[in-house]
Structure 1
Amino acid sequence: MTTTAAAAPAEPRRVQRLLRLQALQIVLILLVIVAIFGTLAPVSFLSGFNIRSIVINTSILAVLGVGMTFVIITGGIDLSVGSVLVFSGVVASKVMVAAGGEGWGVALLGAVVACLSGLMWGLVNGVLIAKAKVPPLIVTLGSFGAALGFAQIITGGIDLRAAPEVLVDTVGFGNVVGQVPTLSVIAGLVVVLGMVLLHRTRFGLHTYAIGSNIEAGRRTGIKVDLQTIKVYAFAGLLAGFAGILNLAFFQSTTIGGQSNTNLNVIAGVVIGGTSLFGGLGTIFGTVIGLFIPTTLQSGFVIIGVQPFWQQVVVGVVLVAAVWLDQKRRTNAQSGRPRQSVLARLGRGSSKGN
């Protein structure tokens, strides 16, 4: 009995060490990229202005990445976040124009409308996946086209540029302390919220469980369909919130500027150690992973390489990350981490009883 009791907590510690090792590897990769571009263009790339730009450009992706991490941990995928971002920004802009005024009341109304718009698309995705049993790839691919199509119908394909000055000046271009962008602080708060939700709540535990073994999770009492709907709704909500942040920063709905958003977010999440096979992932890894495509884009522009190469490199790194994840799972016999998640659920149920 003593041996069994001692072995039980040892297994989660081994999983934690593995995740920390992955995070360390991702940080090292990012540092290598920074070192290469810093050597090739030390003055331009390592300037305060460029570093600030990288942080800001990563901020909106980080908000999307938090929701995408939850989705991919369940073993799903969401290809619609870029289009939902655009749609939410369009609807928010229209509502704010109709409301009139430049104050915080109108800006908050726009933020609420953007979040509700994203939440609606997330609920649609979740219900179709959980209840209609349509594969996530197909559902979110359909949402990707539908959300973008509705945005173009509403605007006639022309970007809207109406946003209250207080939203643009305070959120889009404002600073909190010194040169710390308000936009990045807001994104940081979303990231912290995501970390707490994923690693410290029953919602996060259930997310890991259904990604590890959906049938075993169902047998432990998890309402799998409801949990799936909640996860996609959460991702949609954050995509809507990213829409209002995008509008505040670019002062435009950027209808034609989000074509690579889905790839960059998914790549960042997977590069950050979240497994496309489900059951493993961290928000910290996602944030570091998202800095990689943004840093590559900035570096390529500065040294004069066509930014299109960024997508080539990100695509290659994404495939390599999935291959390494599959190889790591095979070598490490990933059934043990999955069992530890379900064991935690079992202990929680026992305490509840």
Structure 2
Amino acid sequence: MSTHVPGEADRAAAPAPLRPGRTLPGWVRRIAAMNETWTFGVLVLLVAFFTAARPDTFLTRYDITQIATNAAIYLVLGVGMTFVIIVAGIDLSVGSVLVLSAVLSAEYTIHHGGAGSGWGTVAVSTLIALVTGVVWGGLQGWLVAKAKVPPLIVTLGGFGAALGLAQIITGGQDPTGAVSGELQHSIGFGKLFGQIPWLVVIAFATTVVFGLVLAFTRFGRYTYAIGSNPEAARRVGIDVDRHLVKIYALTGLLSGLGSVMWLAYFGTTSIAGHSSDNLKVITAVVLGGASLFGGRGSVLGTVIGVFIPAVLTTGLIIMDVQQYWQDVAIGIVLVAAVYLDQFRRRGRERG
């Protein structure tokens, strides 16, 4: 009985052993590892659940339009908050800055034609809202960067101060004749090609522009670098303080833009209606995968994070769930999404 010794021919014919980690193409593994992919999966599951539960009433064309319109203003605010959170900051004042910008814009409109004013008044009042947001945000950024006051304290103080100024100016009452009819009928209720609300178009354009800025420009790279390690960013020549001022000014600018969108859609300053805007926006950004410790986040993730509570709220309303349970459900989804992301990241670090 002969003993066969494997030779070169046998080794060449034998199948190569499978290498760990080679079962999927690299681009598939990269997409699966993205925070946005997991967050998008949560959104898809919510849509699938409500569609199965109420197939005749959920996700109709009207529902899609309403969800997108209601999310538009929070998406604009969320874009600014994304930059702030990536640099390991926080801005609790966005809702109050929106109110103050709206009030100052409305005061100009009231004294220059009111509801019957034309596009000239609309242009100036819009500029007032944007400048108010930039100045307020830049001042807060200066206090964070130069005075070294923690951003939580600065923006919490800014939250109260901006709202207080708005109430002093108006006496605590929403003024009448605060919005031009031209602005309301065109931007507030108008639709591009008769199909897409202008508010959605503005939010989409804002998202695309600043998403590209964050992902592909020096400003975006500096933002991530400062959030990851501000001291290392200083050592490589980045003016960290100046960049932080710009970041908070940007957040203020987008709060001012949000105020114009709010005035156009609702026709009032809604002084008492923005106390929880900061929490809604921060929730959206965190749901989108941004880290409160800085260095991680994306505008795409924020888009997904904004639509998760919007879809959840709409679905629960259609299912006749009480408002109180809607708030509980949104809180549970927030905690669960963050926990799953943390669990996945720990597993990836161990692996």
Does TM, normalized by the shorter one, top 0.5?
Answer: yes
SS at match of 2:253: helix
1:54–1:144: structure 2 CA closer, same or farther, 3 Å change rule?
same
Q: Deviations over 1:206-234 (max 9, x none)?
A: 00000011111110101111111110110
Q: What is the letter of the counterpart of residue 94 of structure 2?
A: V
SS at match of 1:227: helix
How far did 1:70 drift? Answer: 0.2
Q: Deviations over 1:94-143 (max 9, x none)?
A: 11112225211111111111111111210121011111111111111111
1:91–1:308: structure 2 CA closer, same or farther, 3 Å change rule?
farther
Q: What is the letter of the counterpart of residue 154 of structure 2?
A: V
Q: Deviations over 1:247-289 (max 9, x none)?
A: 1001111112222211111111111111111111110110011
Q: What is the letter of the counterpart of residue 109 of structure 1?
A: V
Aligned-partner Cα distance in 2 for 1:323–1:108: 45
Aligned-partner Cα distance in 2 for 1:145–1:53: 31
How far did 1:310 drift? Answer: 2.9
Q: Deviations over 1:279-301 (max 9, x none)?
A: 11110110011001111221222
How far did 1:333 drift? Answer: 4.5
Query: 2:59 aligns to what?
Result: 46
> Does residue 125 of structure 1 match 2:140?
yes
Question: Which 5+ residue runs of structure 2 have no aligned equivalent?
Answer: 1-25
SS at match of 2:260: helix
Q: What is the letter of the counterpart of residue 130 of structure 1?
A: A
Query: 1:307 aligns to what?
Result: 323
Q: Deviations over 1:18-44 (max 9, x none)?
A: 686322222221121112222222222
> Does residue 250 of structure 1 match 2:266?
yes
Aligned-partner Cα distance in 2 for 1:229–1:310: 37
Aligned-partner Cα distance in 2 for 1:112–1:227: 23
Query: 1:278 aligns to what?
Result: 294
Identify the range of structure 1 (106-115 vs 258-267) with the bigger mean alpha-carbon deviation: 258-267
CA contact (8 A) 1:175 1:181 kept: yes
Aligned-partner Cα distance in 2 for 1:256–1:20: 41
- Matched residue count: 322
> Does residue 212 of structure 1 match 2:225?
no
How far did 1:316 drift? Answer: 2.8
SS at match of 2:141: helix
- Compute the TM-score of the two structures, normalised by the length of structure 2: 0.87
How far did 1:149 drift? Answer: 1.4
Within-5 A mapping of 1:78-97 = 78-97=91-110
SS at match of 2:111: helix
Query: 2:13 aligns to what?
Result: none
Within-5 A mapping of 1:1-353 = 17=30, 21-100=34-113, 101-161=116-176, 162-333=178-349
CA contact (8 A) 1:121 1:233 kept: yes
Flag the structure with higher helix content: 1
Aligned-partner Cα distance in 2 for 1:185–1:19: 29
Question: Which 5+ residue runs of structure 1 have no aligned equivalent?
Answer: 1-12, 335-353
How far did 1:200 drift? Answer: 1.2
How far did 1:160 drift? Answer: 2.7
Q: What is the letter of the counterpart of residue 27 of structure 1?
A: F
Q: Deviations over 1:323-352 (max 9, x none)?
A: 444444544449xxxxxxxxxxxxxxxxxx
CA contact (8 A) 1:275 1:325 kept: no
Identify the range of structure 1 (241-250 vs 31-40) with the bigger mean alpha-carbon deviation: 31-40
Q: What is the letter of the counterpart of residue 138 of structure 2?
A: L
CA contact (8 A) 2:39 2:337 kept: no
SS at match of 1:44: coil
Aligned-partner Cα distance in 1 for 2:314–2:229: 40
Q: What is the letter of the counterpart of residue 316 of structure 1?
A: I
Q: What is the letter of the counterpart of residue 26 of structure 1?
A: T
Q: What is the letter of the counterpart of residue 107 of structure 1?
A: V
SS at match of 1:69: helix
Identity %: 51
RMSD of aligned C-alpha atoms?
2.1
Structure whose alpha-carbon radius of gyration is higher:
2
1:237–1:173: structure 2 CA closer, same or farther, 3 Å change rule?
same
Query: 1:342 aligns to what?
Result: none
SS at match of 2:57: helix
SS at match of 2:34: helix
SS at match of 1:32: helix
Aligned-partner Cα distance in 1 for 2:313–2:195: 22
Aligned-partner Cα distance in 1 for 2:198–2:33: 29
Query: 1:10 aligns to what?
Result: none
